[in-house]
Structure 1
Amino acid sequence: MRPDKKLLILTLSFLILVNSALFGDNPPTAKIVRTTEAPRIDGNINEPVWETATTLTEFRQHSPVFNANPSFPTKVLLLYDNEAVYVAAILSDPHPDSIANQLGERDNEDLNADYFGIGFDTYNNQQDAYYFLVSASDIQVDGRKADGTYDAV
């Protein structure tokens, strides 16, 4: 990323996971726009197809302060077609040179790095999800998370 840019733009092909712990029984929802034209996955969102995307701006922070308002504006664009779900995230930071970006191996989510994460609640049960993260240094993480507080009894 060029140092003169004020935005960190990451483009991924996945859906957003909304953590039910943040929102209780009423997690936010959004209708994702279907497209017939797949966007180019190149980190740029200047193609006209992105202008039709669902736009999300209401987010909560996971860390360093759980459930706090984001430190800086965040905008996520969502599209899907028969092949994939497309996510473009615009993560603003007035000081991009201070973004934590420790290098490491794939699937290491314990680095000193800023991450953007998304996931699928494929069973729509708000108890488990497949998740995907990418760090500011392009470390990719994927896995499955379960709600450790869930008790069926």
Structure 2
Amino acid sequence: MNYIKLFCSISFLLVFNFCYAQNHFKGYENLFTIPANYVVPYASKAPTIDGDINDEVWLNTPWSDRFQDIEGDAKPKPYYDTRVKMLWDESYLYIAAELKDPHVWATLTKRDEIVFFDNDFEVFIDPLNTAHNYFEIEVNAYNNIFDLFMHKPYRSGGAALFSWDTQGMQHAVKVQGTINNPNDTDTGWTVEMAIPFRALTLGNAINVPKDKDVWRINFSRVQWETDIVNGKYVKRKDSAGKVLPENNWVWSPQGVIDMHRPERWGYLFFSKNKAGEKQPQFVLPYTEKQRQYLWLVYYKQQDYRRAHQRYATSFAELKMDKPEFDIDNKRNKIELSSTGRRFEVSIKDTSGKKIYLNEEGLITK
């Protein structure tokens, strides 16, 4: 056998398939960077939720990577550091966050005020990984909470359910310095949360994660540019007198200025190993690689609809002439069903198992 010829042939096929896939994603690269992941250890004991993240249980828990701009590497790195760490048990997801800031301020004190009009810390959780039915929790340096439930994202006509509350949640903030005092220099502020799994549940069955389960999660920090005027913090304005847009710093970059794209959130991998013990390594699930092709069709369909006032009814209209791909050495085929007003795209491999995505961005199996 000519092993050199065989090796070259295999190498060519691998490169060809890689380049072919890359060509399909061309123009959408910002939406297909690999999301961040965090292996969350099991809590040997519950942390005390008081805003002080120096409990022994936290000291043995690893930090996440530092936050980046929401658009990723296309934008400058944040000028203040932010990072998180997490734990879990059968009842709660525990979150600790550290936000460095030399000038800590807040104004909003009433529950469910729009907290992101202040500097804030935000949590987004999709327990079922369907890109629908997800939860958002925001807090400012006053420890004031704004939480909501989204049946589906805003892009699909979703509306926030502000009446939803994270029942049973414990939360605390501690300022390292003074709040609303421009005359000194602060270190920042820290956040602690204990989010009950029963609050993140639809229907009667409580969705408690198991060892090696994967959820989708992301964190955002809203940071406004400010000036000190007459001894107070005032949001900075441009030459036309308009308030400058906020900075959005996130754990896992979205690729666009929009937190309400759950498919872009990071991966939360639950481990029964305790904090301080060796943790398993997260490996991107095969099904997540399959979903990337579904989301590619979704993004192309949305662009097509904006240009033609309808959805494409064939892959040819989307300039995807070969709806077959190799993923982890398994042959996959995508199928499109479209009326022009609605569509559903699916992917399956030789096992016959299918994953579906529709025009509202809902993932089903």
* TM-score (ref. length: structure 2): 0.31
Rg comparison, structure with higher value: 2
**2:288 equivalent in structure 1:** none
3-state DSSP of counterpart to 2:59:
helix
Correspondence for 1:147 among 142, 150, 153: 153
**1:70 equivalent in structure 2:** 78
CA distance in 2, matches of 1:122, 1:33: 17
Check the 8 A contact 1:103/1:111 in 2, yes or no.
Answer: no
Correspondence for 1:24 among 31, 39, 60: 31
**1:86 equivalent in structure 2:** 94
Query: Mind listing any 5+ residue stretches in structure 2 that lack a counterpart?
Result: 1-29, 157-297, 299-357, 360-365
Alignment CA distance shift 1:42-1:102 (3 Å) = same
Mean Cα displacement is larger for which, 81-90 or 117-126?
Answer: 117-126
Q: Percent identity?
A: 26
Mean Cα displacement is larger for which, 34-43 or 119-128?
Answer: 119-128
Task: Answer 1 or 2: which has greater helix percent.
Answer: 2
CA distance in 1, matches of 2:132, 2:66: 22
How many residue pairs get aligned? The number is 125
**2:61 equivalent in structure 1:** 53
Structure 1 counterpart of 2:154, one-letter code: G
Check the 8 A contact 1:33/1:52 in 2, yes or no.
Answer: no
**1:129 equivalent in structure 2:** 134
Correspondence for 2:120 among 111, 115, 118: 115
1:117-152 Cα shifts (integer Å, max 9, x gaps): 112112213455201110122220111233233562
CA distance in 2, matches of 1:49, 1:30: 17
- Tell me by how many angstroms 1:75 deviates: 1.8
Check the 8 A contact 1:55/1:76 in 2, yes or no.
Answer: yes
Query: Mind listing any 5+ residue stretches in structure 1 that lack a counterpart?
Result: 1-22
Check the 8 A contact 2:118/2:140 in 1, yes or no.
Answer: yes
1:12-59 Cα shifts (integer Å, max 9, x gaps): xxxxxxxxxxx6343211111111211111111222111222311332
- Tell me by how many angstroms 1:61 deviates: 4.1
CA distance in 2, matches of 1:61, 1:128: 25
Which consecutive aligned stretches of 4+ in structure 1 deviate over 4 angstroms post-superposition?
A: none
CA distance in 1, matches of 2:102, 2:155: 37
RMSD: 2.5
Structure 2 counterpart of 1:34, one-letter code: Y
- Tell me by how many angstroms 1:72 deviates: 0.3
Check the 8 A contact 1:132/1:141 in 2, yes or no.
Answer: yes
* TM-score (ref. length: structure 1): 0.69
- Tell me by how many angstroms 1:110 deviates: 5.3
Alignment CA distance shift 1:55-1:136 (3 Å) = same
Check the 8 A contact 2:85/2:95 in 1, yes or no.
Answer: yes
- Structure with the bigger RCO (C-alpha within 8 Å, sep 6+) is 1
